[in-house]
Amino acid sequence: MAGGGKMSPRQKMINMMYLVLMALLALNVSEEILDSFHLFEVSFNRAATNIDAKNDATMSALQAQLDEKPAKTKPFMDRALQAKKIADDFVKYVDDVKLDIEKLYGGGDAKEARVDGDPKGKLVAADQMEKHANYFVNEKHGVEFQNRINKTRTDLLALLKPDDSDSLFTITDLKVYKEVEDACQLVADDPEGDGPKKATWVSQNLEHVPASGLMAIFSRIKNDAKTLEADVLEKLASQVDAKDFKFDKLSAKVLAKSNYVMEGENYEADILLVASNSTGEPEIYVGDTKVPTEAGMGKFKRPASGVGIKTFAGKIVVGDEEFTFEEEFTVFKPAATIAATEMNLLYKGIDNPMSISVPGFAASDVKISAPGLNLKSLGGGKYNAKVPGSTSKEVTITASITRDGKTKTVGSQKFRVRSLPQPTAQLGGIPNDGLPKGKASVGAQSAIIASMGAGFAYNLKYRVTGFKLIMAYKRKPPVMKTANGGTLTGEMRSLIKGAKPGDRILIEGIRATEAKYGFKANLSPIIITIR
């Protein structure tokens, strides 16, 4: 949904959260994942307050300029007021659509319960898609929503285009317009490509999304609109005195002690209004490396590699003065998991692959408690769990971390424990379903096969080590033959070849051994009636 260009750290975080959201949507969502969607929505809503504060500060700065130099500032203030109205109208439109969807899944009570992002206020029927899919696709509201997004983008960006009819409007080329357009996240274009199965923007973003995820997408789109409004207001404010040498760019900044805070800890941050000079470029260094600058602000990039807390430090040189700084950020994976790789079920006696991780912490910093299991770390958050035969029907795996000398539990998950089911046997490719079979198809088979079935999650390979075949004739005494291994002997194949309609083939005493673990199993008999 986003165009290219340079993005703020806040916008990068929102984009990352959105990518996580869309990745989660590809899964068979559990209650925990639906809760995560709701938390994404709450996070987006809280981020919106910072954007509103920034816009209010910019409007206050423009008002101060208007009071001081009304003629020079009025063209920019007029456009700022238009930007605010366009954005406010769009946000109201999204809120109205959002209310329509909430009513589809619970009505006014659901809206009431969701005030202030109360965790108990997640959307009624959060995992449903059918009603809003009909609303957006069959009732055509999706295309209307898509067009409204793109029109809002176009109208806001148009406020930064040169205006030859107003000599006091000092934006005289498309450079400012292009800067904001390149960074703009508010866009709802259909994906490129051809073909009848090509998904539309509406299908990808609105139709095939659980209701809980849709609420988060609405909040993100509103933030994109308010962010574009913020960028337009900022450019308008900075252009009033664009030809003057002074600090002409105001930005509201939140400097957090850490952007990753565990439950039970305090979030700490300094909130301030920052002024910069868009016509002069200071020298900024991180370590010994000079950082590129734009409009008086350093543009620092560093690849986020390796989970954990990362730090950097440097200096800003203005004339003969130096101002030092240091900062830290947390690298974490987008989702915490304590889950069996194959299923939420552990089998006794075999290897059960597991993945266990905590966002913001390296796997080596995570301590795992698993009473009743033999849990072996394979590195990188991967584990292998073996369940002893004496373990009860349920086990709990708990993850904890140590921070500032204190150990804190950060997650736990219960798993059911079961004994392995017995494999089933069949004659070659003929299903053991008790139905009569043609002699030709029976005679074409050469071996007895033992397996756990196509739906079993683990790849266990059983080899048949012996069996007995009894030909139960309809009009004469039965004949029995024995085989070592899983292949039918020549005598057995001859008996099958001479079978008549109504004769029955009984294969019993089937023994099998699993290749990896050496499990031995006695399989249920196979009974085939010749048609």
- What are 117-171's pLDDT values in tens digits? 444 456 666 667 788 888 888 888 889 999 999 999 999 999 999 988 887 888 8
Q: Which of 522, 508, 531 shows the shortest CA–CA distance to 443?
A: 531
Which of 278-282, 398-402, 514-518, 527-531 has the least mean pLDDT? 278-282
Res. 244: pLDDT tops 60: no
Residues 6+ apart with CB under 8 A from 38: 117, 119, 122, 123, 126, 212, 215, 216
Rounded-to-integer distance, Cα 102 and Cα 125, Å: 10
pLDDT band of 39, cuts 50, 70, 90 = low
pLDDT for 204: 84
Tokens of 8: 């703020």
Phi (first) and psi of residue 59, to 5 degrees: -65, -35
pLDDT band of 236, cuts 50, 70, 90 = very high
pLDDT for 158: 93
Q: Which residue has the higher pLDDT, 487 or 29?
A: 487
Q: How many Å separate Cα 279 from the centre of its chain?
A: 41
- Summarised one tens digit per residue, pLDDT across range 301-326 is 877 777 667 788 888 887 667 888 88
Beta bridge partners of 412: 398
Res. 379: pLDDT tops 90: no
Rounded-to-integer distance, Cα 96 and Cα 103, Å: 11
pLDDT for 131: 86
Q: Which of 126, 124, 132, 127 shows the shortest CA–CA distance to 108?
A: 124
Tokens of 156: 């806001």
Q: Phi-psi region for residue 330, left (φ > 0), alpha (ψ -120 to 50) or beta?
A: beta
Characterize the bridge pairing of strands 520-523 and 352-357: unpaired
Q: CA 509, 513, 518: angle at the middle one, nearest 5?
A: 145
pLDDT for 117: 43
H/E element holding 100? helix 70-104
- Summarised one tens digit per residue, pLDDT across range 427-472 is 998 988 889 999 899 999 999 999 988 778 788 899 999 999 999 9
Residues 6+ apart with CB under 8 A from 107: none
pLDDT for 108: 41
88-109 average pLDDT score = 82
pLDDT for 27: 47
Q: Which residue has the higher pLDDT, 7 or 109?
A: 7
Buried b (16+ CB within 10 A) or exposed e, 438-454: ebeebbebeebbbebee
Average pLDDT, rounded, for the chain: 80
Q: Name the 3-class secondary structure at 308.
A: strand
Q: Diameter of the chain by CA atoms?
A: 116
Q: Which of 40, 51, 37 shows the shortest CA–CA distance to 8?
A: 51
Residues 6+ apart with CB under 8 A from 106: 123, 124, 125
| Selection from 35-39, 76-80, 271-275, 433-437 with the highest mean pLDDT | 76-80
175-180 average pLDDT score = 91
Q: Which of 455, 451, 429, 468 shows the shortest CA–CA distance to 515?
A: 451
Res. 281: pLDDT tops 60: yes
Cβ neighbours of 317 (radius 10 Å): 13
Q: Which of 148, 159, 215, 213 shows the shortest CA–CA distance to 186?
A: 148
Q: Which of 117, 133, 187 shows the shortest CA–CA distance to 157?
A: 187
pLDDT band of 110, cuts 50, 70, 90 = very low
Q: Which residue has the higher pLDDT, 241 or 259?
A: 241
Q: Which residue has the higher pLDDT, 103 or 228?
A: 228
Q: Which residue has the higher pLDDT, 405 or 333?
A: 405
Confirm whether pTM is higher than 0.75. no
Is the Cα dihedral 252, 258, 263, 264 positive or negative? negative
Q: Name the 3-class secondary structure at 435.
A: coil
Residues 70-78: contacts with CB within 8 Å, 24+ apart? 71/168, 72/168, 72/240, 73/240, 74/168, 75/163, 75/166, 75/168, 75/169, 76/169, 76/236, 76/237, 76/239, 76/240
| Selection from 20-24, 273-277, 290-294, 448-452 with the highest mean pLDDT | 448-452
Res. 505: pLDDT tops 80: yes
Instruction: State percent of the chain over pLDDT 70.
Output: 76
Which of 70-84, 163-177, 470-484, 509-523 has the least mean pLDDT? 163-177
pLDDT for 172: 84
Cβ neighbours of 178 (radius 10 Å): 13
Tokens of 316: 């800003």
- Summarised one tens digit per residue, pLDDT across range 475-503 is 889 999 999 999 999 999 999 999 999 99
Q: Name the 3-class secondary structure at 21.
A: helix
Tokens of 240: 């009033």
Q: What is the CA radius of gyration of the chain?
A: 34
CATH 3.30.200.20 given to domain 337-418: no
Is the Cα dihedral 475, 476, 481, 487 positive or negative? negative
Cβ neighbours of 99 (radius 10 Å): 14
74-89 average pLDDT score = 94
pLDDT band of 410, cuts 50, 70, 90 = confident
Q: Which of 253, 300, 303, 293 shows the shortest CA–CA distance to 275?
A: 253
Contact 513, 343 (CB under 8 A): no
Res. 280: pLDDT tops 90: no
Rounded-to-integer distance, Cα 378 and Cα 406, Å: 26
Cβ neighbours of 214 (radius 10 Å): 28
Buried b (16+ CB within 10 A) or exposed e, 306-315: ebeeeeeebb
Tokens of 192: 């490129």
pLDDT for 261: 61
